[in-house]
Amino acid sequence: MNFRFFTISEHVLNYCPKDMQADISVHLNRCVFNSHPAFRLASDGCRRSLAVHFQTLHTAPGDLIFHQGESVEYLCFIASGSLEVLQDDEVIALLGKVV
């Protein structure tokens, strides 16, 4: 999959100083940082460094995110909602926000 998800917030952030970009990015991604165990022990500096690389993807019900067997070049976190993992048109898992 070779595509880039672009949001208005990314466009606006490009006009801000780097430190402000990091602060805003941490705020915009606070849901993931506060709820996912991988980030619970992360320092503020670590979160700031990671947050500027996060991208938001909004999907509609029925949207396909990955195809089976496709190589993936990024990691996804579910901030809200859920998604079904299908194999041969059968739901084999339901993924959702980590609580």
Q: What is the CATH number of the domain that holds 17?
A: 2.60.120.10
Residue identified by tokens 């602060």 is 23
Which of 36, 29, 35, 2 has its CA nearest to residue 13? 29
The count of structural domains within the chain is 1
Average pLDDT over residues 51-70: 87
Residue 23 included in any domain: yes
Q: CA-CA distance, 86 to 64, in Å (whole number)?
A: 10
Q: CA-CA distance, 30 to 54, in Å (whole number)?
A: 11
Is 33 in contact with 98 (CB distance < 8 Å)? no
Residue 56 included in any domain: yes
- Give 92's pLDDT tier (boundaries 50, 70, 90): very high
Q: Which residue has the higher pLDDT, 61 or 1?
A: 61
pLDDT reported for residue 3: 47
- Give 33's pLDDT tier (boundaries 50, 70, 90): very high
Residue 46 included in any domain: yes
Residue 65 included in any domain: yes
Residue 90 included in any domain: yes
Q: CA-CA distance, 54 to 51, in Å (whole number)?
A: 5
- Residue 16 is part of which domain span? 8-96
Residue 38 included in any domain: yes
> Who contacts 37 (Cβ-Cβ below 8 Å, separation ≥6)?
98
Residue 3 included in any domain: no
